[in-house]
Amino acid sequence: MCTPADPGSGQRSEETEKLIKKSHEAKACSYSPYSKFPVGAALLTEDGKIFTGCNIENSSLTVGICAERVAIHKAVSEGCTKFKSIAVASDKKENFITPCGACRQVMREFGTKWEVHMTKPDMSHKTMTVEELLPLSFGPEDLEI
């Protein structure tokens, strides 16, 4: 679902809090009958649209997909490829939820400078850039096409 962000909110913290809230809401749609580990994500595009995603498991375990990639794929399928930030949510209380390696590489495809907000159920979060999460990464410019 693509939802416009608040136009001209002007305050980064309000924008981030809204994104975090949407990631926790997206978690409710998770299809995770095998791991019992629901994850939600909310992706903010540079033009202010928000795409949400949740993890979707499958009995053939390797064909499941993470929430972050669902949100990114939804955005790309709607023509959006410039991202400002993504928030990721789970029920993990002790540590912030972090994207897996595959999700980090998919994020990297669309730049290194955008932010990843890793959260806990109490809405606290830690923010890092894609570059910080995947240093010395391989990206489109490395293909020299």
Which positions are catalytic?
68
**Strand, helix or coil at 141?**
helix
CA distance 142 to 3: 33
Q: Give the angle subtended at the CA of 129 by the CAs of 26 and 112, to the nearest 5°.
A: 105
